[in-house]
Amino acid sequence: MLKVKMFEGINEISDFEKRHGAITIEEKINDFLSKNPNIEIQNILQCSNHYGSDEAFSSYITVSLLYRT
């Protein structure tokens, strides 16, 4: 059966955010993969939204991981 796991987040976080438990989307995905070593990834989709000004530009990313167990 095909399953979907969605991840949302940002790619870079400040030291302040790290101290308060925030993690990047990359860390979320790697954590999921390390906890599920036997899945078979079928497809990966990514969407991003960019916002802010020159001084505070950021990206919000959504990754959909389609897999089989």
Q: Which tens digit of pLDDT belongs to each residue from 30-58?
A: 999 999 999 999 999 999 988 877 777 77
12/14 Cα distance (integer angstroms): 7
Q: What range defines the domain where residue 55 resides?
A: 2-68
Going from the C-alpha of 54 to that of each of 10, 15, 47, the distances in angstroms are 17, 20, 21
Q: Does the pLDDT at position 18 exceed 90?
A: no
Q: How many domains does the chain have?
A: 1
4 and 66 in contact (C-beta within 8 Å)? yes
Q: Provide the pLDDT confidence category of residue 63 given band limits of 50, 70 and 90.
A: very high
Give the model's pLDDT for residue 20: 85
Paired sense of beta strands 2-10 and 40-51, if any: unpaired
Give the model's pLDDT for residue 58: 75
Question: Residues 24, 30, 35, 38: is their CA dihedral positive or negative?
Answer: positive
